[in-house]
Structure 1
């Protein structure tokens, strides 16, 4: 025992084992030379080999853990899955075409309506260690993105909720041009009292569609009545609520633009509840062109988002990054298209 009462190190205790790099430094040789010795390869000079072996015998050798290999999967993350709308299914179909071609498995996740991954779900993602992640209408915090970067798990955003950073690849649709085209269609039919039930202003797509609406009205020289601009969530019930309020105005709109098809379906319900008809009394415009748009009566005039193509593009980007390839561009915006059906017509009396 020492005077302080502590036991002195035993003379039989071995120092901590060394890594290949530490052995190479002590032997004044390259790491590759040490690697050849520990792996039993013959092409090392006898004296060098003996020097390395003496160091290993004296200190021991600690094998470094290899980084965990990534699973042969692509994780497709939605803020929520709504099978009835068709939004998710269109994107899934596009992603699956790419993953199948590359023999990768597709894993689906949802964030229970949240736009940002919660810590518990994110820890599970790190544990699953997919080859790539595609986040649809959702995303990650800066700290989460950094953790994914360190683990070499590439991330691609599809239909991003906000302005994506230049470091994060993304695929979106022409929301501004779609809003412009939709409003122009109503203006060309002769409408001037055009209302919009816009989506949440914190979402990039909703802001862009509203800006497109405003631009079309401005270009046509038609003042925008602030009472005709309504903020909402992208849900059916909000379409009903806001359309009922619009139709109760002393000078109601002759056309209402719902910023997604779900809102437009709600607008249909509100029009029916007030004893009016689409499009005889009120024209209705949507945005997305999901499958139910063709089923309502009359079929919905809307702006088609190329959701399947967006899924394919996002998956192709994720696979390329997983293979260590660089992307020709980090941000891809696909064109939207006006689909004219039976829900829009000239205003009554024209």
Structure 2
């Protein structure tokens, strides 16, 4: 057989081999549902025609959709890196997208048609599973995912997830308690909290852990000592300003994230307060900014990259139809002591 002049197509190869175009495509993609004799015949025709297809290692790789809402910050960068690294190790491609919040309907939920359109896009592009980072999914989103049988894993869900939603997080309550206990052990009793959205599940858990530690020693938590908005630098600056302008300001503040803690550091600097001599600050997450802060932040470490890796492994289990051990996985937090917290009264001792 002499090579065919002009551009060689799948149809050309199929006609020469006496098979369908679909069969040729299966051979090119390394599919197993082709008989050995047919595969050999097609490969022989491909070789004689000099057909060059895509490299076998670039086809039919599983793909996971990784989506988030809001801005990418120090926290989400660590989680995303964990997802990408785990995907690479598993031979899975990760596609990162921003999933905007759906505009609410009159009943308060997202438009079902828009949710269905989003899911159709995911299934049309061959996604095996979806992973959301601190995302708020509507009932319409969840229903569309269920109808499409597209597995979903949420990392640090924005709200308490539905019972059948698989989620990955950390021991936020224990972390909040550890942060407050550390400040209490340093002699502080006037300890404030500046955290994320009041409806956020992880924020509620951190706040509850802080309150539990305070109550265990009989320390009051005045209403004005708790300020919640979001987990970003600007929120820490606003919350820190509010607490540090009080007539009886706190001597220590537990921040719901490292970025919030940085905002509190700036609010203290603007008021001529030194950290940790005049104000102790403890963050949460242990992102890169905690190590780069001045002074370096004492913070509660979340294993953010491992959370991303667990989400990938769980998503692939679900995609393969395998059962998972738990609908919610919590990884342990750890208190990391650096230079932003010191014993209460350090400023007066230094002055003397």
Shorter-chain TM range is 0.7 to 0.9
Residues 110-189 of structure 1 aligned to structure 2 (within 5 Å): 110-112=98-100, 119=115, 121-189=118-186
Q: CA RMSD in A?
A: 2.1
Q: Are the counterparts in 2 of residues 278 and 284 from structure 1 also a CA contact under 8 Å?
A: yes
d(CA) in 1 for partners of 2:149, 2:242:
50
Which residue is equivalent to 1:245? 242
Cα drift, residue 93 of structure 1: 2.4
Q: Provide TM-score, normalisation by structure 1.
A: 0.75
Q: Secondary structure of 1:287's match?
A: strand
Identify the match of residue 97 of structure 1 among 67, 80, 85.
85
Which residue is equivalent to 1:342? 339
Q: Are the counterparts in 2 of residues 129 and 153 from structure 1 also a CA contact under 8 Å?
A: no
1:232 aligns with 2:222: no
Q: Secondary structure of 2:247's match?
A: coil
Q: Secondary structure of 2:130's match?
A: strand
Q: Secondary structure of 2:323's match?
A: coil
d(CA) in 1 for partners of 2:306, 2:285:
13
Q: Are the counterparts in 2 of residues 183 and 216 from structure 1 also a CA contact under 8 Å?
A: yes
Q: Are the counterparts in 2 of residues 171 and 331 from structure 1 also a CA contact under 8 Å?
A: yes
Is there any run of 5+ residues in structure 1 with no aligned partner, and where? 1-69
Is there any run of 5+ residues in structure 2 with no aligned partner, and where? 1-59, 104-108
Cα drift, residue 143 of structure 1: 2.6
Cα drift, residue 122 of structure 1: 4.6
> Deviations along 1:44-84, whole A, 9 cap, x unmatched?
xxxxxxxxxxxxxxxxxxxxxxxxxx9720111111352xx
Identify the match of residue 330 of structure 1 among 327, 331, 334.
327
d(CA) in 2 for partners of 1:139, 1:224:
30
1:195 aligns with 2:185: no
1:304 aligns with 2:294: no
Q: Secondary structure of 2:285's match?
A: coil
Say which is worse superposed, 340-349 or 73-82, in terms of deviation. Answer: 73-82
Which residue is equivalent to 1:57? none
Q: Provide TM-score, normalisation by structure 2.
A: 0.74
Which residue is equivalent to 2:55? none
Which residue is equivalent to 1:77? 67
Cα drift, residue 129 of structure 1: 3.7
Provide closer, same or farther for how the CA distance between residues 231 and 93 of structure 1 changes in structure 2, counting only shifts above 3 A: closer
Which residue is equivalent to 1:28? none
Cα drift, residue 165 of structure 1: 2.1
d(CA) in 2 for partners of 1:77, 1:256:
32
1:321 aligns with 2:318: yes
Provide closer, same or farther for how the CA distance between residues 139 and 71 of structure 1 changes in structure 2, counting only shifts above 3 A: farther
Provide closer, same or farther for how the CA distance between residues 93 and 242 of structure 1 changes in structure 2, counting only shifts above 3 A: closer
Provide closer, same or farther for how the CA distance between residues 81 and 236 of structure 1 changes in structure 2, counting only shifts above 3 A: closer
**Which structure is larger by alpha-carbon Rg, 1 or 2?**
1
Q: Which of the pair is proportionally richer in helix? A: 2
Cα drift, residue 154 of structure 1: 0.5
Cα drift, residue 302 of structure 1: 0.6
d(CA) in 1 for partners of 2:298, 2:86:
31
Which residue is equivalent to 1:218? 215
Q: Are the counterparts in 1 of residues 61 and 92 from structure 2 also a CA contact under 8 Å?
A: no
d(CA) in 2 for partners of 1:250, 1:190:
20
Provide closer, same or farther for how the CA distance between residues 86 and 247 of structure 1 changes in structure 2, counting only shifts above 3 A: closer
Q: Are the counterparts in 2 of residues 180 and 216 from structure 1 also a CA contact under 8 Å?
A: yes
Provide closer, same or farther for how the CA distance between residues 170 and 246 of structure 1 changes in structure 2, counting only shifts above 3 A: same
Q: Are the counterparts in 2 of residues 134 and 314 from structure 1 also a CA contact under 8 Å?
A: yes
